[in-house]
Homo-oligomer: A and B are copies of this chain.
Amino acid sequence: MNADGEQLGVKSTGTCFGLLERVRVRGGAGISELARDTGLSKSAVHKHVQTLSTLGFLVREGDRYHLSFRFLAFARQARDRLPFARVESTVRDLAETTDHTTDFLVRENDAVVCAVQTPAGTGAGPEHGEGSVVPAHATAGGKAVLAYLDEAERDALLERRGLPRYTEKTITDRARLEEELQSVRDRRVAFGREEFTPGVHAVASPVLGTDGRPVGSVSVVGDTRQMSGKRLEEDVVGLVTSAAKTIERAVRTA
């Protein structure tokens, strides 16, 4: 059974991507393993995996299956929707000048996804990594996006995702979240204060499209010590908003 009890139009597509996802997080898996993970019968898993193999999206190696390099083509296409070279270099610069892990998140329907991540040399922060879905209510980058959605879209996203608690500082109250988002709009900056990962602070600034709707956000993350102190914080805020503006220009002209 799928984790989320949503009604899907095409059920087998759900199980198919469920399997792919399991293979991904395990970094390769066998048939029985997947059957246990998903609750499907071995024969069903076998059939799916075989299909995905002949289609060329899973690769068999011995009795383990891995994700194919063909997904690189899909990833490229996703990237091509952004002026990727500019975005990446801007993010990289920001990471270098701040010496912190830097992300560019994009909004996708009712989710926020990490599109670019440049880990800093030193900081081995908690990296979900590119392509992962980020909790909007519990991260700086997520809140930066959320704040600039119109109410209908925000409702849709939050209803879809809920307000799950990750730490004791996670905002799980909708009204409280709205307050926070108002302050984000006031300053055009969002802060993350251990709401997702203990010991991790973050600063983010939104990237808005020509229509004023949020395309995504730029965020810098670091551990609590590094990302506190008035001066430092204000410096980082300036750098982040500046980078966001740069990307905003690039996105709008593209």
Contact = CB atoms under 8 A, between A and B. Distances in A.
Contacts of A73: 24, 129-132
State the oligomeric state as a number of copies.
2
Interface in A10-38: 10, 12-14, 16-17, 20, 23-24, 27-28
A33 to B, nearest CB: 16
Contact of A76 (B56, B59, B129): B129
A253 interface: no
A77 B67 contact: yes
Interface in A47-67: 47-48, 50-57, 59-60, 66-67
Contact of A111 (B52, B56, B66, B115): B56
B13 A70 contact: no
B72 A131 contact: yes
Interface size class of A (residues with CB under 8 A): 35 or more
Contact of A71 (B10, B74, B129): B74
Contacts of A75: 69, 71-72, 74-75, 131
A113 interface: yes
A97 B203 CA distance: 41
Contacts of A56: 108-109, 111, 113, 133
A140 to B, nearest CB: 18
**9 closest cross-chain pairs (CB), A and B:** A73-B131, A72-B131, A75-B75, A9-B47, A71-B74, A72-B130, A9-B51, A10-B51, A59-B108
Interface of A: 6, 8-10, 12-14, 16-17, 20, 23-24, 27-28, 46-48, 50-57, 59-60, 66-81, 106, 108-109, 111, 113-115, 129-133
